[in-house]
Amino acid sequence: MADVLINPVADRLSPLELLRVTLAAASDPSQVAIRELPFLCQIALRGSPGNTLFMAAVQKALGLDLPVKAGSVVLAGSVRALWLGPDEWLVVAPDGAAPALLSALAAALEGVHAQAVDVSANRTVIALEGPRAAEVLAKGLTLDLHPRAFGPGRVTQTILARAAVILEQTGEAPAYRLYVRNSFATYLASWLMDAAAEYRLPPLC
C-alpha cells in the first residue's frame, strides 16, 4: 500500500499559509508589512561558550563563531546564529539546510557536551517591516526598540502581547523577524494585523 506517499517538500503546510492572503491584504509597505517566512531551517544549539572544544566544533560545522554577547547575532553567508541565552543559540539558515548542518554539527560535536536539535518545524517566522513596524511592536512589547537600545544585528527572547517570541532586528528600516511557536502563530499574526490596522486609516487630525 505504498500509494499514500507524501512529498516532504511540496506537501508541507506552514502555520500561516492559510492566512497568507489576509496578511498581504493587511500589509502596506509604506506603513507596515507583515508576511510569513515559512520553513526556515532552525537548529536549537546548546553548549558552553567556555568550552573551547564546543566553540571550535561549531565554528568548524557552521563556519561562524557563536555570539557570546547577550542579544547579538552573528552571520556567516546564509547562516545566522542568534544568541538566546548564555548557553543557548538558534541557528537559522535557508529552507532545506537543516540536514546538512545537523550532520555537520553532529560530526563536529562528537564527544563534546552539547545539544543540536532540529526545530525547523517548531516555530515559524513572521517578517515585520516598514516605518511603523517598531510602533506596532511597541503596542505589545515592554522592550525598548529605540536605536539607542536595539537595532539591526540584535535579538532577544521576549513576550509580544501574550505570546513568547524571539525578536530579531534584521534591517534599519526597520525590519524585524518574529520567531513564534506554530500554535501561537495565528494569534500573533491576528494581533499584528489588528495593531497595524490603524496605520491604514487616514491620520488623526
Using CB under 8 A, list all residues that contact other proteins: 1-2, 4-8, 11-15, 18, 38-39, 44, 46-47, 70-71, 84-88, 113-115, 117-123, 135, 138-144, 146, 148-149, 156-159, 161-164, 181-184, 186-188, 190-191, 194-195, 197-198, 201, 204
Write the CB contacts of 58 (distance below 8 Å, at least 6 apart in sequence): 45, 47, 64, 65, 66, 105, 108, 109, 114
Nearer to other proteins, 35 or 123 (CB): 123
Give dist(CA 168, CA 177) in Å, integer.
Answer: 5
Integer Rg of the chain from CA: 18
Question: Does the N-terminal peptide bond of residue 174 adopt cis geometry, omega within 30 degrees of 0?
Answer: yes
Give dist(CA 163, CA 185) in Å, integer.
Answer: 9
Nearer to other proteins, 22 or 186 (CB): 186
Helix (H) or strand (E) holding 115: strand 114-118
Q: In the bound complex, what is the minimum distance in angstroms from residue 158's beta carbon to other proteins?
A: 6
Nearer to other proteins, 24 or 117 (CB): 117
Q: In the bound complex, what is the minimum distance in angstroms from residue 13's beta carbon to other proteins?
A: 5
Q: In the bound complex, what is the minimum distance in angstroms from residue 178's beta carbon to other proteins?
A: 14
Q: In the bound complex, what is the minimum distance in angstroms from residue 38's beta carbon to other proteins?
A: 8
Sheet architecture: strand order including 73-76: 73-76, 79-85, 88-93, 41-47, 114-118
Nearer to other proteins, 89 or 170 (CB): 89
Nearer to other proteins, 60 or 162 (CB): 162
Nearer to other proteins, 17 or 77 (CB): 17
Q: In the bound complex, what is the minimum distance in angstroms from residue 111's beta carbon to other proteins?
A: 10
Cell (9 digits) for 136: 506596532
Helix (H) or strand (E) holding 41: strand 41-47
Q: In the bound complex, what is the minimum distance in angstroms from residue 107's beta carbon to other proteins?
A: 15
